[in-house]
Amino acid sequence: MKATLNGTVIAEAPKEELVMIEGNWYFPPASVNTEYFSDSPTQYNCPWKGDAKYFVVKDGDTGLQDRAWSYPTPYETAIQRVGSDFSGYVAFWKEVKVTE
């Protein structure tokens, strides 16, 4: 699976290494090309997953606010619910396309 932004691959991993949660594919941390990411100040707490960490995704000279997020330390109950430890896995939004 690939996550691309305007043709640039920003994450890539075999489908069996990804985790699907609520309709979003979460990529393992090692599969993410961090040169395209910077931390976002946005804060969010999901009632069942825990505290999210958001990222600005770089598109050339432009930064797209909050187009990626992860749960660095999800609740143990969330890991049990999902059936897999998704700590630090990264999901994408809007302009970032996830394809097989």
Residue 69: partners with Cβ closer than 8 Å, 6 or more residues away:
44, 52, 53, 54, 55, 90, 91, 93
> What confidence tens digit (pLDDT) does each residue in 74-97 have?
999 999 999 999 999 999 999 999
> At 15, is the pLDDT very low, low, confident or very high (cuts 50, 70, 90)?
very high
For 74, phi then psi, to 5°, come to -65, 160
| Cβ contact 42:55 at 8 Å | no
Structural domain harbouring 87: 2-99
Question: Which CATH number characterizes residue 87's domain?
Answer: 2.170.150.40
What integer pLDDT is reported at residue 54 of this predicted model? 98
Domain tally, the chain? 1
Residue 30, SS3 per DSSP? helix
* Tens of pLDDT, residues 20-78: 999 999 999 999 999 999 999 999 999 999 999 999 999 988 999 999 999 999 999 99
